[in-house]
Amino acid sequence: MCQINTDPMKSQRGYLDVVVPPDILDYPTSTDMVVREGSNVTLRCAVTGSPTPTITWRREDSHPIPLGNGVTSIEGPFFNITKVNRLHMGSYLCIASNGVPPSVSKRITLIVHFPPMIWVQNQLVGAREGQQMTLGCHSEAYPKSINYWTRDEGQIVPQGGKYEPSIFEDAYTVHMNLTIRSVGPSDFGAYKCVSKNSLGDTDGSIKLYEIPSSSGSRSTYGNGTKYKGKMGKNYGNNYVDGDPNVLKKIDLKLRGRKENGRDDDEDYDETSGADSRGRMSATSTLFSSLIFAILSQRRLFGDLQTQLLPA
């Protein structure tokens, strides 16, 4: 207040608002956290400033926060996650602002630990001798896992020579491949992709079986359909089990055509055409003999009638 001691006295009041930019307190603000998958998590962001700052939580990568509602930000000093899972893992930003520049932020990293899990897309794979074949597994684990391949007897598949293991990592996911150059008789059997970390271990099985080379050639018929000789149930490699000639007949039947080009409504037996023609020839001969016998009897009856009846 400003006052002048005159008669009468004069005074004037003035108002001063002191603004303070936001600041994030080290305590009790949360630091980087390591939790087990399935537990509950609360992140806290404590701030000061005048006017009172607003607090916003975002993922550092700007992706939606995996809470099931597609939101990209959360308002408030507390960020609660119920039954945290691996999708929640990452860095989060606590952003404080109150209209007084500058706004401030703090990064808090959430690390989720979980034991290994493995997915095998093709559990049954067929190959021919001499063919190059690649087996594959997909695993997820954190902390990062140790990954390798074994045979059905338990021995680890060595690296080098005809075997080439390869691993492609992305965050907590791992793609494991095993390439076998020039598959031989000893290579057929069961393989396991193994993943281990401090929380556990798991494995996935793949069986490599032999496709006979004699039935593996491709044939192309007039209708343009290609067949692989050994085709049947396979969990990843599309092939059909059967003889090419049988497959051809089935395909022609489905298309409504016979092998000789006739339609189904034409009376023709493709498997016994020669027998049918033989039966038709025998039937024609028998019919001709019957006609000849009838005509002969009619002539004989006419001659007798001429002799017995008077002129």
Tokens, residue 112: 């989720």
Chain length of the chain: 311
Cα separation, 166 vs 148, whole angstroms: 9
Taking only the tens place, the pLDDT of each residue in 184-242 is: 999 999 999 999 999 999 999 999 999 987 654 333 223 332 222 233 333 333 333 34
The 3-state DSSP class for residue 59 equals: strand
- Which domains are seen in the chain, by residue range? 18-113 (2.60.40.10), 120-210 (2.60.40.10), 221-271 (no CATH)
pLDDT at 259 over 60: no
> What's the mean pLDDT when you consider all of the chain?
78
> Residues 42, 52: contact at Cβ < 8 Å?
no
DSSP H stretches of helix in 24-139: none
Q: Could you tell me whether strands 41-44 and 173-180 are parallel, antiparallel, or unpaired per DSSP bridges?
A: unpaired
The 3-state DSSP class for residue 305 equals: helix
- pTM score: 0.62
Amino acid symbol at 148? Y
> Residues 136, 87: contact at Cβ < 8 Å?
no
Q: 11: Cβ–Cβ under 8 A, 6 or more apart, which residues?
A: 1, 2, 3, 4
Q: Which residue has the tokens 């338990």?
A: 154
**Closest to 30 (Cα-Cα) out of 48, 41, 40, 44:** 44
Q: What is the pLDDT of residue 159?
A: 82
- Answer positive or negative: Cα dihedral of 132, 137, 138, 142: negative
pLDDT band at residue 264 under the 50/70/90 scheme: very low
Mean pLDDT of 78-106: 96
DSSP letter for each residue of 258-276: -TTS-BTTS---TTSHHHH
Q: 192: Cβ–Cβ under 8 A, 6 or more apart, which residues?
A: 149, 150, 151, 152, 203, 204, 205, 206
